[in-house]
């Protein structure tokens, strides 16, 4: 009789953990169990990508109705019914969670709806008190929002709670400059909330292409977001049902809510990782090799808990590669090169793949091809926003090193551009591709002269 209850025990029911469990059990015949202490689907499905994108859609309708009137439609917008929207949102998340559970059940995975921690390299202790032995353990517990400690920090909320407002506040302060902060600033602004955003740095969206992030910030401000750079919170106190915020410059203002989006940290606290011998990094992330294996041979980790590339599709690929490697006899490593991403700001999204202009300049001589213009749809309606199409090209190899798009539906466009760039397309390959006219993306294949060298 085996000393193990399962071939694999997965801690965490997010996208990466669920994919690993389903593939290991359903495709490779492993005996698998999974524990999730909150809701199946993880951050992305329950309190991240999915509900956020639905809120992006909801918040875009006021601008769409303005455009409709410019195109001759007699449209009158009523008030936004947050309660009705939230009811449908909650129902959709319930449906998705049910689908995740059905997929695990169909693959034969045993699910434990409780917290699980490591007791040793091959033993998991459940919150029920039960102990489970497994040949391999996969940690896929994701990340959580980080809130610094300061006077009044107990009054703030994070992206975890932003979907659960009973009533939308009249005003909100969002603290942070990353994609989560910028996306929710645009969402709440579009839903009619008066939005102020503090960011302590010189420009939002640090790490993205400087020209692209500058245009995004410019358009956020033009759209109504009160973006304050070089700003931060000193203290918060509750006064007459409002949150009184004192900024580091001494200014004071009241808000209905304060949302902190100042980064995320790996969710490793209290899991027993140190006791099991797992090496953790400076942020608390599980240190793994290219096979997602930790310092303990029987313990692996995928997704945000490893702090490699914190994106849902990456976690899914890491989980799938792990299952194929360990249980499928098909060793392969997840590919972290040239991963595209999108920031769902409004009126324009930011889609990006490859190197920023700033990073590419450090790697060797480059040419930059870029154009900004008013897109036809918005220009006809009298809207002033501009779009950006940008290619960063290696002088030596002629390969397109990076593509950066600021435009409506940029997330959809960058996915297709990423295929070409992943295949090693050169600038001349782009030039040989016939344009689709009239479209915004045709500019990607019609730019002939570099705007600058670097």
What is the domain count for the chain? 3
Domain identity same for 138 and 271? yes
257 part of a folded domain: yes
* CA–CA gap between residue 440 and residue 351 (Å, rounded): 13
At residue 98, φ and ψ (nearest 5 deg) are: -60, -40
335 found inside a domain: no
Instruction: Choose the catalytic residue: 28, 320, 404, 437.
Output: 437
Is 410 part of any domain?
yes
Statement to judge: residues 303 and 168 lie in one domain: no
Residues 97-117 pLDDT 10s: 999 999 999 999 999 999 999
Please check whether residue 336 lies inside any domain of the structure. Answer: no
Q: What percent of the chain has pLDDT over 90?
A: 98
Query: Is 171 found in the same domain as 99?
Result: no
399-434: pLDDT as tens digits: 999 999 999 999 999 999 999 999 999 999 999 999
Instruction: Examine the domain organization and report whether 346 and 310 are in the same domain.
Output: no
Please tell me whether residues 138 and 13 are part of one structural domain. yes
Residue 70 forms part of a structural domain: yes
Which residues are CB-neighbours of 144 under 8 A, at least 6 positions away?
A: 160, 264, 265, 267
Write the pLDDT tens digit of every residue in 231-261: 999 999 999 999 999 999 999 999 999 999 9
Q: What is the mean pLDDT of the chain?
A: 97
Query: Both 238 and 111 in a single domain?
Result: no
334 falls within a domain = no
Q: Check whether residue 312 and residue 222 sit in a common domain.
A: no
Task: Read off the pLDDT of residues 383-399 as tens digits, 9 standing for 90 and up.
Answer: 889 999 999 999 999 99
- Tell me if 282 is assigned to some domain: yes
pLDDT(221) > 60: yes
- Domain range for 396 is 341-453
User: Within this chain, do residues 425 and 316 fall inside the same structural domain, yes or no?
Assistant: no
**The CATH number of the domain where 104 resides is what?**
3.50.50.60
**DSSP alpha helix (H) spans, 1-81:** 15-22, 42-47, 49-59, 61-70
Element (H, E) at 215: helix 210-222
28 in active site: no
Task: Note the pLDDT of residue 1.
Answer: 44
Residues 285 and 409 in one domain: no
Q: Which residue has the higher pLDDT, 78 or 158?
A: 158
How far apart CA 133 and CA 151 sit, in angstroms, is 45
Q: Residue 400 maps to which CATH number?
A: 3.30.390.30
Confidence of residue 2 (pLDDT cuts 50, 70, 90): confident
Q: How many CA atoms lie within 13 A of 340 on its CB side?
A: 20
């Amino acid at each position: 009789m085996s000393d193990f209850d399962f071939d694999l025990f997965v801690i965490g029911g997010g996208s990466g953990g669920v994919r690993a469990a389903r593939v290991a059990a359903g495709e490779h015949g492993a005996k698998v169990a999974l524990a999730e202490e909150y809701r199946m689907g993880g951050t992305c499905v329950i309190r991240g990508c999915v509900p956020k994108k639905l809120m992006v859609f909801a918040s875009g309708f006021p601008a769409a109705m303005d455009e409709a009137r410019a195109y001759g439609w007699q449209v009158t917008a009523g008030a936004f019914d947050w309660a009705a929207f939230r009811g449908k949102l909650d129902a959709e998340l319930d449906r998705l969670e049910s689908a995740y559970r059905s997929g695990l059940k169909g693959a034969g995975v045993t699910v434990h709806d409780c917290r699980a921690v490591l007791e040793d390299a091959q033993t998991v202790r459940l919150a029920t008190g039960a102990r489970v032995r497994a040949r391999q353990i996969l940690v896929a517990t994701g990340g959580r929002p980080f809130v610094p400690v300061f006077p009044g920090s107990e009054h703030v909320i994070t992206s975890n709670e932003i979907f659960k407002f009973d009533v939308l506040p009249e005003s909100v302060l969002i603290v942070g400059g990353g994609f989560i902060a910028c996306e929710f600033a645009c969402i709440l602004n579009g839903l009619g909330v008066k939005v102020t955003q503090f960011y302590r740095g010189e420009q939002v969206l640090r790490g993205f292409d400087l020209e692209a992030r500058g245009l995004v910030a410019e358009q956020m401000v033009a759209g109504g977001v009160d973006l304050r750079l070089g700003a931060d919170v000193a203290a918060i106190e509750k006064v007459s049902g409002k949150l009184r915020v004192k900024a580091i410059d001494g200014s004071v203002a009241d808000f209905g809510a304060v949302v902190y989006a100042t980064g995320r940290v790996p969710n490793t606290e209290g899991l027993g990782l140190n006791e099991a011998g797992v090496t953790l990094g400076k942020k608390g992330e599980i240190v793994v090799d290219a096979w997602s294996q930790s310092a303990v041979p029987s313990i692996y980790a995928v997704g945000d808990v490893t702090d490699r590339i914190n994106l849902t599709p990456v976690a899914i690929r890491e989980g799938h590669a792990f299952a194929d490697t360990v249980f499928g006899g098909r060793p392969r490593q997840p590919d972290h090169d040239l991963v595209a991403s999108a920031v769902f700001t409004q009126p324009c999204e930011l889609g990006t793949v490859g190197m920023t202009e700033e990073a590419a300049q450090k790697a060797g001589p480059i040419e930059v091809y870029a154009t900004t213009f008013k897109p036809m749809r918005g220009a006809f309606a009298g809207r002033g926003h501009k779009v950006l199409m940008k290619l960063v090209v290696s002088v030596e190899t002629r390969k397109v090193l990076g593509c950066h798009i600021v435009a409506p539906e940029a997330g959809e466009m960058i996915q297709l551009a990423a295929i070409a760039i992943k295949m090693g397309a050169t600038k001349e390959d782009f030039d040989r591709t016939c344009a689709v006219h009239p479209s915004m993306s045709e500019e990607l294949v019609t730019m002939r002269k570099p705007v600058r060298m670097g």
